[in-house]
Structure 1
Amino acid sequence: MTTDAAPRTTAPSSAPGTPDAPRPRRRRRRRISGYEALGFPTWAYVVFFFVVPLGLVLWYSFGYKPDLFNAHANDVLSLDRYVEALDATFIGTFWNTLRIGVVGTLICLAISVPFAYWLAVKLDPKWRPLALALVLVPFWTNFLVRTLGWQIILSPRGFVSDALQNLGIIDGRLDVLYTAGAVQLGVVYNYLPLMILPLYVAIDRAGPALREASADLGANRWRTLWNVTLPLAAPGIASGCLLVFIPLMGDYITASVLGGAQGNMIGQLVASQFNTAQNWALGSAMAVLLMLFIAGAVAVFGGIALIVRALVRRARRVDLNVELPEGAS
């Protein structure tokens, strides 16, 4: 006896090369690309030379000086060192440092704008490498050695003092050394290249096309400089101001060598707590407060710059809603 069984149906098999074939599951291991490998030194630099030291300074600021023979202890954490740091001496020295920093940055900007413009626009391109090398020459010498050179120049018995007396410009010895004016001169000299280089790059990248277009439209040189060149160089101006202002606020070598007691800066107070008083907790608290104050000052100045830029743009904006006369299209 035979029975008719239902035919068995099988799913059509697809060849491995057809679109319907299931793809084999493979575990793909993520390989580090060459660009990521090249970026590792940057991350390592940031971690080991910025994050870790900053974390240690912040950790030390919560400690205290246990006794005369030990510099630091962190078994008891508190904010007392911050309260101790915010005294009249710290606040007064900070305002003096802020004045030196703002004035020094403005002087560097006033000197760098015409020099960078001459370097990028007026100077023959074949002489620019030599001029840039001369700008960078001070960085080939140690910072302390350069500052000590100014101590010799400004000395009451130096050649500058003798030359001014021989010319009849001054009657007695030159009395500039160990004053706030000497510190101001020293910081301008030490940080001036940091303002020139970003400005030169910004003006050079702008190119001559827009300046030539401004001249073709009838603008003179001053109007072209004010309406075309300086707005295009605004990123370089901002970068230069930050590169000068931030390290200048923490400088203590210039004030120690050229200022004495009259040119005291906040960096000297921080350094004295670590080197002389051996109070690492108080010095760390002062360093943290200095960083916070610098960040606040940069934020305030940045906000003022944004407001000024908005007002200038608003003044230059063309009113498109002006009613046209009848018959005009």
Structure 2
Amino acid sequence: MTLVTMADVTAATTRIAPYVRRTPLLRLPGERLWIKPENRQHTRSFKVRGAVNAVARLAERGVGHVIAQSSGNHAQAVAYAAAEHGVRATVVLPDTAPELKVTAARRLGAEVVIVPPALREHTCLALADRFAATVVGSDDFDVIAGHGSAGIEIGRDLPDAGTILVPVCNGGLLAGIAVAAKAVNPAIKVIGVEPELAADGADSFRAGRRTAWPVRETYRTRADGLRAPILGALAWEHIQRYVDDMVTVSEDRIDLAADLLEHKLGERAEPSGAVATAAYLAHGATLPAGPVVAVLSGGNVAGALAGGA
């Protein structure tokens, strides 16, 4: 299996630059914690980085229709990327997806198909066959490379960072950031974070093999963007090679972190986006010395400003 390299991430960073926002690092007052606010992206989520890179490359090859299945943020990102590159987009969402994410995908021009959570992947593949559309998976090679651009930015903005905390769904963001961060500073610790109620990735990391959780269990968490029942196969290969640890956080810690981000920094975080900050609150005393960066991966919550900060 071919892995993403720093050269791939560097090329992706250049390719997506016209379409994404270079987010800053924000210091949490009184702490050694810095926040990477990906809620400021055009679709209020980091997902735009990987989706734009993947769709741009597909458009260059003449692909005219892309399809994706998602809890919401990847769908919006694919819809945005497709619109920017003149490509048709279809997205499959679960019937539990927040209405604001469904509405946003439609507003960006995608055809939206709603199904029960357990049918997302099957429906996506069936529709891809029917429409002769190309699937954009959330841990595809080009998606991981695009996500790595966030790791490059962290390395440039805070070269002495000791730890990066990254939310984990199917692992694409963690994989991309780990590739870039380790290339810039091999000594940095890259740690994935999951809700305790959807900890298939942490279980996989401990067992040394991909471990699936039943959908009925992962859907207990309020972090709707982190409910994937198993890590992506390609993301897993990167995680095994580059990631130092995976930790979990409680629902209460996630809520506390979201409140802290809003009240201390004025940043709106959806539960999925707050888990990395929650990990600092729960595990900060045991993290390696030096500055800690927590990726605020998304802010698609009611009351958030459309289009990002």
Q: Which has the larger radius of gyration?
A: 1
Question: Is the TM-score greater than 0.5?
Answer: no
Name the TM tier (shorter chain): under 0.3
> TM-score scaled by structure 2?
0.22
Between Structure 1 and Structure 2, the one with more helix by share is: 1
